[in-house]
């Protein structure tokens, strides 16, 4: 079975542009979470979606938005890019929403975004 | 506050030795912890988890210990191999109706032959 897939793998943008990152969860997984990982740091939680609804949001500005589709895939959108948005963007999927804390999140390889 | 940190940023060990990676957490209400391994160019890979009602859990060559009194977590890797070289993160589950992982900064494990 395929794991979590993300596209593109790498992306270069300039300040002020917008970007859309895509994620396909593991087959059968209904929940998708997005994390930002700046070089040398641990991942930081951005969003969690379950059944197409936003269930949680981290401390990120409104320039960051996301959505989940009926097939449970997800997009992360970032508008008005800043240099500080350069990071590895990780998508993780789990079977359920996570009411039970043992719902393991499985990560994709990430999309590396560079903002110039 | 919500934070998970690590005592050592880099750990160097000889192949075949045992490795111990430590982690401190600050949220006493957290009740679930996970260790992830991240190799260069890859996403974090689940290693092992532990609930707060447990003190110890063992997997294949790995053991996680939880000391709730001092809010400390450790990952022990037996007979460390070159393939174990990676950055290791502990993550804390924050309650609130969904699984929000709070990661620490990570410890780099370097295994030398």
A71-100 residues touching B, CB cutoff 8 A: 90, 92, 94, 97-99
Judging contacts by C-beta atoms under 8 Å, the chain B residues touching residue A103 are 99
Q: Do B100 and A50 touch (CB under 8 A)?
A: no
Concatenated DSSP letters of chain A: ----EEE-SEEEE-TT--EEEEEEPPTT--EEEEEEE-TTS--EEEEEEETTEEEEE-S--TTEEEEE-TTS-EEEEE-S--GGG-EEEEEEEESS-SSSTT---EE---EEEEE-
Q: What is the block-wise mean pLDDT of chain A (116 residues), using blocks of 10 residues? A: 91 98 95 92 92 91 97 97 97 76 83 97
Chain A interface disruption, residue of B32, B42, B44, B99, most A CBs within 10 A: B99
* pLDDT for the residue B97: 64
Candidates A41, A98, A101; nearest CB to B31: A101
Q: Do A56 and B97 touch (CB under 8 A)?
A: yes
Q: Is the minimum CB–CB distance between B1 and chain A shorter than 8 Å?
A: no
Q: Which of residues B61 and B28 earns the better pLDDT score?
A: B61
Judging contacts by C-beta atoms under 8 Å, the chain B residues touching residue A109 are 41-43
pLDDT greater than 70 at residue B7: no
Which tens digits make up the pLDDT trace of A78-95? 999 999 999 999 999 988
Which tens digits make up the pLDDT trace of B52-104? 889 999 999 999 999 999 999 999 999 999 999 999 999 988 766 677 888 98
Q: In a 3-state reduction of DSSP, which class is residue B84?
A: helix
pLDDT greater than 60 at residue B1: no
Distance CA A41, CA A58 (A): 16
* pLDDT for the residue A39: 85
């Amino acid at each position: 079975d395929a794991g979590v897939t993300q596209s593109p793998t790498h992306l270069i943008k300039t300040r002020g542009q917008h970007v859309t990152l895509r994620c396909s969860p593991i087959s059968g997984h209904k929940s998708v979470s997005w994390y930002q990982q700046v070089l040398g740091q641990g991942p930081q939680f951005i969003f969690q979606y379950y059944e197409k609804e936003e269930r949680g949001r981290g401390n990120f500005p409104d320039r960051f938005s996301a959505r989940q589709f009926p097939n449970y895939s997800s997009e992360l959108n970032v508008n008005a890019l800043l240099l500080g948005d350069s990071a590895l963007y990780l998508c993780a999927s789990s079977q359920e929403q996570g009411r039970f804390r043992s719902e393991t999140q499985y990560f994709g390889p990430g999309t590396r975004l560079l903002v110039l | 506050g919500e934070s998970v940190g690590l005592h050592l940023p880099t750990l160097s060990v000889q192949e075949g030795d045992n490795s111990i990676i430590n982690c401190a957490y600050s949220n006493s209400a957290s009740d679930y912890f996970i260790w992830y391994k991240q190799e260069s160019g890859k996403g974090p890979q689940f290693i092992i988890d532990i609930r707060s009602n447990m003190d110890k859990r063992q997997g294949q060559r790995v053991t996680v210990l939880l000391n709730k009194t001092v809010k400390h977590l450790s990952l022990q890797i037996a007979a460390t191999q070159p393939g174990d070289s990676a950055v290791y993160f502990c993550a804390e589950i924050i309650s609130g109706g969904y699984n929000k992982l709070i990661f620490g900064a990570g410890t780099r494990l370097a295994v030398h032959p």
